[in-house]
Structure 1
Amino acid sequence: MARQNRSEVVDATQNVLIRSLLGAVLALPYATRVRLMGRLATTVIAPAAGWRRRIRENLAHACPDLSASEVERLVRAVPDNVGRTLIEIYSGGEFKRHVAGTPLEGPGVETLHTARAEGRPVALVTAHMGNFDALRAILFSEGYEVAGLYREMNNPRFNDHYVKALSEIGTPLFPTKREGVAQFVRHLARGGIIGILTDVYNRKGAETTFFGKSAPTSTAACHWAVKHGAVVIPCYGLRQPDGLSFRLVMEDPVPHGDPVEMTQEINDRLEAVVRENMDQWFWIHRRWKPERKRKRR
């Protein structure tokens, strides 16, 4: 019981600190808050949370030929994008108004329109790149209901207001629990649109690669697409040089076939986009986990 109480105290304390920081930043004008949160993530949160070390480790593993100066640039630029993305999500209606009118571009746009006109389901596959919620906001504004999956935070107090913030951009949203995933797939099977981030390590995933390194990846999205006849469209919300606006890119659909081969194509396409926008991908998370591969061997 004492251990449980300590956990509750820690959760409550963390939540108060986070809410206080977010509340103070949200009181500022939109552009100011986005820039400030980027700076705070770079100078305060990143060193305290160990992000800088993780970014260096991932870059050394995936891109060993990068120059030292480029690595140090990314150590600062990556947290900046993360901080901006977080406060944009929490800005809700202001964020949606800010990105309103941003055009969708790329060959996948016509594919999306055609699929919806035919009542065919669509799987939008994306990544922790720029800010996907900019794309989600525009799709909702154009009448497209995009169902999303979210991973629940370990701190339930923080999770409550985080999910509320995501919901302001659009619903339905489903947790990555068994019933939540089942509802998510039913939404697709009924001819709906789903948006899913595929660039995460999956212990039971297929032996695919990313940046030429082993990166086990779930093939679930491609399995669902093949089973339910859904169009698979890779798409990205890429941050523009001003740090506030976005390019909303929808690529050619991934042809149906073997789900593992489809997943590898999604990884390869994402890699190409990341190489052109290195500071916008989430180099903080543990995408490869090479130590686990060594242990399996």
Structure 2
Amino acid sequence: MSYPAPPPPAKAGKPAPSWKHRFEDRLSAVLLGATRLLPYKRRIATLGWIGANIIGPVAGMRPRIRANLALIAPDLPEREIRRICRRVPGNMARALAETFAGQDFINHVRNSPVEGGGLPALETARDAGQPVVLVTAHLGNYEAARVVLQDRGCKIAGIYMPMRNAAFNARYVAAMSRIGSPVFARNRTGLAGLLKFLRKGGMIGLVADHYMDHGELMDFMGQPARTALSSAEIALKHGALLVPVYGIRQPDGTSFRVRVEQPIPHTDAATMTRALNASVEALVRDNMDQWMWSHRRWKKNTPRKAP
């Protein structure tokens, strides 16, 4: 595959990329480019192995994974902890490689089976032009779900958090756009574009399992976690269906099951968000090695003191 041209020189007033960011960007380009010579399945497996055995330990993911597992599953056997510590960064590397694989990834996953019972409601909304908020999690690879639903005529816009490494971010956004567009940056301009797309009867994809500094404290896997209400608030404001959607990786490492759950009934934002948390929690407990345990999901998880 080809990659977009390097980003233009930094504009006046903006710092040039650091040597670390340049190195990270070039290293990722070399790894992705070199493995491009391999057949698709072997390519994804190779990059998954590199993520599990090299990138994960070097990036210091294992202590964070262990700390989160100790909080949520303190009785987990040591053997299982070690397995999850390897598999989590491996899954993250596979997902990144799949995003950059473009058409190869699309061809491989487009016929993935769909489960969960929510597809008929989604297709009815598609045909009626009703807005839909699709909510997912950092589990498996949600891009697989996007491919499958787009093949069924669903127009889906995504939103992403811009990375600190501007050079790599430019290539990553281009790769996401090759899988499906539009995609919007998570900033004021991007949010405006996303909501405009939704108001026209489109579907938007949001991720529900981030730590949010100003989120509400809600139970997630038995511990309080700061959680944004925005997915539910958007659905309520715009009369949109709120539908949990996931791409669950299969034991072969490259295939997926796409899970489209029943729409969450409109009540109030807090109640709907608790239902989203419960949906994510169930999938995580069934697929412990596919969720991003390296994320600091439970930081600052005590009530703030009154001013």
| TM-score normalized with structure 2 length | 0.92
What residue number does 1:257 align with?
A: 267
Paired with 2:280 and 2:23, the residues of 1 have a C-alpha distance of 38
What residue number does 1:100 align with?
A: 110
What residue number does 2:244 align with?
A: 234
Q: CA deviation at 1:27?
A: 2.1
Paired with 2:42 and 2:186, the residues of 1 have a C-alpha distance of 34
What residue number does 1:218 align with?
A: 228
What residue number does 1:126 align with?
A: 136
Tell me the amino acid that sits aligned with residue 93 of structure 1. Q
Deviations 1:211-261 (A, max 9, x none): 111111111111010111101111110011111110001111111011011
| TM-score normalized with structure 1 length | 0.95
Paired with 1:4 and 1:227, the residues of 2 have a C-alpha distance of 39
1:14 to 2:24 alignment: yes
Tell me the amino acid that sits aligned with residue 235 of structure 1. V
Tell me the amino acid that sits aligned with residue 26 of structure 2. V
Question: Which has the larger share of helix?
Answer: 1
Give the SS at the match of 1:82: helix
Gaps of 5+ in 2: 1-11
Is contact 2:217–2:303 with CA below 8 Å preserved after alignment? no
Is contact 2:217–2:301 with CA below 8 Å preserved after alignment? no
Is contact 2:159–2:205 with CA below 8 Å preserved after alignment? yes
Tell me the amino acid that sits aligned with residue 188 of structure 1. L
Paired with 1:26 and 1:128, the residues of 2 have a C-alpha distance of 25
Give the SS at the match of 1:115: helix
Structure-2 change in CA distance of 1:72 and 1:112 (3 Å) = same
Q: CA deviation at 1:26?
A: 1.9
1:158 to 2:155 alignment: no
Structure-2 change in CA distance of 1:288 and 1:117 (3 Å) = same
1:293 to 2:304 alignment: no
Tell me the amino acid that sits aligned with residue 28 of structure 1. L
What residue number does 2:282 align with?
A: 272
1:190 to 2:200 alignment: yes
Paired with 1:36 and 1:23, the residues of 2 have a C-alpha distance of 13
Paired with 2:56 and 2:161, the residues of 1 have a C-alpha distance of 21
Give the SS at the match of 1:283: coil
Paired with 2:21 and 2:110, the residues of 1 have a C-alpha distance of 36
What residue number does 1:209 align with?
A: 219
Identity of aligned residues (%): 44
Tell me the amino acid that sits aligned with residue 121 of structure 2. T
Residue number among 58, 66, 70 corresponding to 1:60 in the alignment: 70
Tell me the amino acid that sits aligned with residue 147 of structure 2. A
1:244 to 2:254 alignment: yes
Tell me the amino acid that sits aligned with residue 266 of structure 2. H
Is contact 2:64–2:294 with CA below 8 Å preserved after alignment? yes
What RMSD, in angstroms, separates the aligned Cα atoms of the two structures?
A: 1.6
Paired with 1:160 and 1:228, the residues of 2 have a C-alpha distance of 31
| The 10-residue stretch of structure 1 (118-127 or 62-71) with the greater mean CA deviation from structure 2 | 62-71
Paired with 1:84 and 1:4, the residues of 2 have a C-alpha distance of 32
Paired with 1:117 and 1:15, the residues of 2 have a C-alpha distance of 42
